[in-house]
Chains A and B, each alone.
Chain A
Amino acid sequence: MPTDATPSTDQPAPLSVPGTLARLAGIGVVLLFVVGGFLYLGGWFSPHELTPARFVNGFQKVFGIHSGFRRNHAKGMCVAGYFDSNGQAARWSKADVFRPGRVSVIGRFSLPGGNPYVADTPASVRGLGLAFRPQNGEEWRTAMIDLPVFVVNTPQAFYDQLLASKPDPATGKPDPEKMKAFLAGHPETVRALTIIKAQPFSSGFENATYNSLNAFRFISASGTSTPVRWSVVPFDPFKPAEPSQPATQDRNYLFDALIARIQSGPVRWHLIVTAGQPGDPTDDATIPWPEDREHVDAGTLTLDQVEAEAPGNCRDVNFDPLVLPVGIAPSDDPLLSARSAVYSQSFTRRAGEKKEPSAITPSDVRK
């Protein structure tokens, strides 16, 4: 477009040297501000805040680094089977897995702690991770343990308790003073431990009840949200654990008994979903819900295959409790997002490491 613009708009007057320097400095400040903003978001200016990496470092401090293994619940064994939904939970959740029908499941039984070769004991807490795999490509993963409530209700408390339980290099045992100091600041943990101690441990993996502990929300087809917790309750009758270790001194006696049990026939659990009432805490895993809460038996979990950890099976799955299908959503429990973040960090670290053989080997599982 022809114009009669003055030359000044076409050829701006040269900048003075101080003017140029001021503008250069301005550009520098803007760029630094952008870089600084990203460093801030990445937590570079808060080196004491608990992050997923520092959390996993905590596990490594207490248990050492065991190449290729989970940083927590390191000792484990794979199982597989299926879930037969009876449709009972469909009124609370529109999840595919709760429609009447069968869904394939893989799972992993485990013991807590970062030592993949830790000896089984009668008072070992038992873990069960499950991945329900409906046909539509969704997954429902859950990682449960056989305690009635969890011992802490915040990520920071979990971390502090972990470090307080670190064995003293001199005695090989945790410093009782540190644990005492932790408990003094955490009455919720003291209350939870009282509930936990009141309930005897079962004799094996196969007759234990595993609990979600954290609350979730079920979303129905009409959009109604119901606070829930779930448990898998064994068909096998409960037998209390013998107070002392069996005479065989088998370090894997709990796992070996489970292998024998599954090889003698499928092991079954009821999937019990309990609905919370308004006022029941959904953000505090240390507090049980009242006994009389409405619950449904959503179907039967059957585990009929057992395998040692190997490439591509449960070993290589992250049982992240926030891998959820449509129809199940997280609650406001702060442990959930933290678990997801820390599991992911542990998974990423171990994924690239050299894999050592697991405590339970293929020859243990062979009939």
Chain B
Amino acid sequence: MTTDLEQFPVSMRFLHWLTAAMVLTILGIGVAMVASLADYHQLVSIHRPLGFLILVLVVIRFVNRQFSTMPAFPATVSSGERFIAHASEMLLYTLLFVQPLVGWGMLSAARYPIVLYGPLHLFPILPHSVMLYAALRKAHTVLAYLLFFTFIAHFGAVLFHTLILRDRLFSRMAPYRVPAR
């Protein structure tokens, strides 16, 4: 008997795992830096350029997705679940796009120079306004929590399918090659 199990194309899997590593890192740095005195400066100096890289990466991913053929869902994934999977994928794309922009915008509104590395820095995208900064700074925290819980839901759903339903859902995005059966 054969199945239609296929993996996402290599480019999509590579971008997926690169994003995963960067997003988990930046979330960890973000939550640590706001609570740290000794490491604050070092952590912020990584957080800023990493956020910008994620913004670039999510645009590349979105474009790459338009040109890629995606594998079908396993039969165990119901149409309701497909809708949720699709919606949560779009939510993650949106969060990964909006969150760095909010960070960039809030630093602009606070009139900080937005240093990436050495002399490399970003231009401001918003006018100097502390009220705007305050609102965006709050939004940055709320979006970070939302992003974290969306990640937990995504991770939990994949674990459930792979370990309980054992439908090889994980194989679709596995960072290694899985032969079709």
Contact = CB atoms under 8 A, between A and B. Distances in A.
Contacts of B21: none
Question: By CB atoms of chain A within 10 A, which of B110, B113, B121, B128 has the most?
Answer: B113
Contact of B152 (A12, A24, A35, A320): A35
Given A42-B32, A50-B37, A347 B164 contact: no
B130 interface: yes
Interface string A27-38: 100110011011
A5 B37 contact: no
B65 interface: no
B63 interface: no
Nearest to B133: A351
Contacts of A320: 112
B39 A337 contact: yes
Interface string A317-344: 1101011001000100010111011101
Given A7-B1, A38-B31, A38-B148, A337 B38 contact: yes
Interface stretch (B9-17, B80-88, B89-97, B134-142): B134-142
A245 interface: no
A20 B164 contact: yes
B3 A10 contact: yes
Contact of A138 (B35, B41, B119, B160): B119
A357 interface: no
Given A5-B181, A38-B27, A38-B28, A137 B123 contact: yes
B131 A15 contact: no
A155 B41 CA distance: 14
B41 A340 contact: yes
A342 B34 CA distance: 10
Contact of A136 (B2, B44, B119): B119
B56 interface: no
Given A26-B163, A27-B159, A338-B37, A2 B27 contact: no
A138 B2 contact: no
Contacts, number: 135
A80 to B, nearest CB: 14
> Among A7, A9, A341, A347, which residue has the most Cβ atoms of chain B within 10 A?
A341
A305 to B, nearest CB: 18
Contacts of B115: 138
Interface string B13-54: 000000000000001100111111111111010000000000
Contacts of B155: 31, 34
Contact of B37 (A24, A41, A139, A155): A155
A3 interface: yes
Nearest to A327: B119
Contact of B40 (A24, A318, A337, A352): A337
Given A42-B32, A352-B131, A23 B163 contact: yes
A51 B37 contact: yes
B164 A5 contact: no
Interface string B118-132: 110101000011110
B111 interface: yes
A31 B36 contact: no
Contacts of B163: 23, 26-27
A317 to B, nearest CB: 6
Given A31-B156, A34-B152, A326-B119, A15 B164 contact: yes
Contacts of B113: 137-139, 323
Interface in A1-60: 1-3, 5, 7, 9-10, 12, 15, 20, 23-24, 26-27, 30-31, 34-35, 37-38, 41-43, 49-53, 55
Contacts of A38: 27-28, 31, 148
A306 B27 CA distance: 42
A42 B145 CA distance: 12
A336 B112 contact: no
A49 B2 CA distance: 58
B152 A31 contact: yes
Interface of B: 1-3, 27-28, 31-42, 44, 110-113, 115, 118-119, 121, 123, 128-131, 133-135, 137-138, 148, 152, 155-156, 159-160, 163-164, 166, 179-181
26 contacts: A1-B180, A7-B1, A12-B166, A27-B156, A38-B27, A38-B28, A43-B32, A43-B35, A43-B36, A52-B37, A136-B119, A137-B123, A138-B115, A316-B128, A316-B130, A337-B38, A340-B44, A341-B36, A341-B40, A341-B41, A342-B37, A344-B40, A348-B133, A350-B130, A351-B134, A352-B135
Given A41-B35, A137-B121, A348-B137, 17 more contacts: A2-B2, A5-B181, A30-B159, A38-B148, A41-B31, A42-B31, A51-B36, A52-B36, A52-B37, A137-B123, A311-B129, A340-B40, A340-B41, A341-B37, A348-B133, A351-B131, A352-B137
| Those 8 A-B pairs whose CB atoms lie nearest each other, nearest first | A352-B134, A341-B40, A43-B35, A351-B130, A42-B31, A351-B134, A338-B37, A337-B41
